[in-house]
Amino acid sequence: MNRISPLGTVYGVGLGPGDPELMSVKADRLVRGARHVAFFRKAGRPGRARSIVEGMIPEDAVEFAMEYPVTTEIPFSDPRYNNMLSAFYADCTAHLRALAEAGESPVVLCEGDPFFYGSFMHLYTRLRAEVPVHVVPAITGMSAAWTATGSPVTWGDDVMSVLMATLPQDELVHRMEAADALVIMKIGRNLPRVRAALEQAGKLDRAWLVEYASMDGQTVLPLSEADERSSPYFSIIIVHGEGRRP
């Protein structure tokens, strides 16, 4: 009589903002004990998540690089963008599901927190009804960014908004004006537009640009002093609240 193997668990492991010492104890344990490790990356790149755990993965672990078919090559509004990514996530899901059905428990490396704008959420929603999935939360990149500025981001009753730099400029201005504190993500080539929106909202003088928060090469400077360059995609702009204090 054939014995059916119990299902394994797919682990979505948040690695934090980039400094390996900011990983949780649980994340560290799962990575060091993994038999199968999956991670996202752009084709031709090592992958940010994989770089964080360099030297931690067992030598005999099987690695599965999930290479995005498209990142910024075509606009988000192009119908091909969603179609290509949907097929990509379906392929990744099938691979991880097959491992879990064979009794393996693959570890998926996730930058920051898996449920905060992370690619893993697209795998999670496809897998959760079919095999066990466990998510390990982590310190977010924005937490590392505002800590790097050396000032608390919110005070008292401050309302904080997290904005994507990819939003239309009018929408950015509207939401910037409505919030006390701001975190603006996905900067990259959108930096000049974000700067203009902050100036229009009257918050440019309080904005800080943080690049590579908690990682080698971390840079922190007032946005008003930054040149007109494009910043790395994972740069974050912080605007501190000025709320109630005792």
Model pLDDT for residues 23-45, shown as the tens digit of each residue: 999 999 999 999 999 999 998 88
**Rounded CA separation 20/23 (Å):** 5
Q: pLDDT value at position 234?
A: 75
Tens digit of each residue's pLDDT (9 = 90 or more) over 164-221: 999 999 999 999 999 999 999 999 889 999 999 999 999 999 999 999 999 999 999 9
Q: CB of 10 within 8 A of CB of 100?
A: yes
Model pTM score: 0.91
pLDDT tens, residue by residue, 114-154? 999 999 999 999 999 999 999 999 999 999 999 999 999 99
| β-sheet with 133-136: strand ranges across | 62-68, 36-42, 107-110, 10-14, 133-136
* Alpha-carbon span 185 to 211, nearest angstrom: 11
Q: Left (φ > 0), alpha (ψ -120 to 50) or beta: where does 186 sit?
A: left
Query: For the chain, how long is the longest CA-to-CA vector?
Result: 73
Domains identified in the chain and CATH numbers: 10-136 (3.40.1010.10), 141-239 (3.30.950.10)
Check if the beta carbon of residue 128 is closer than 8 Å to that of residue 9.
no
In which residue are the tokens 């050396």 written? 150
Mean pLDDT of the chain: 93
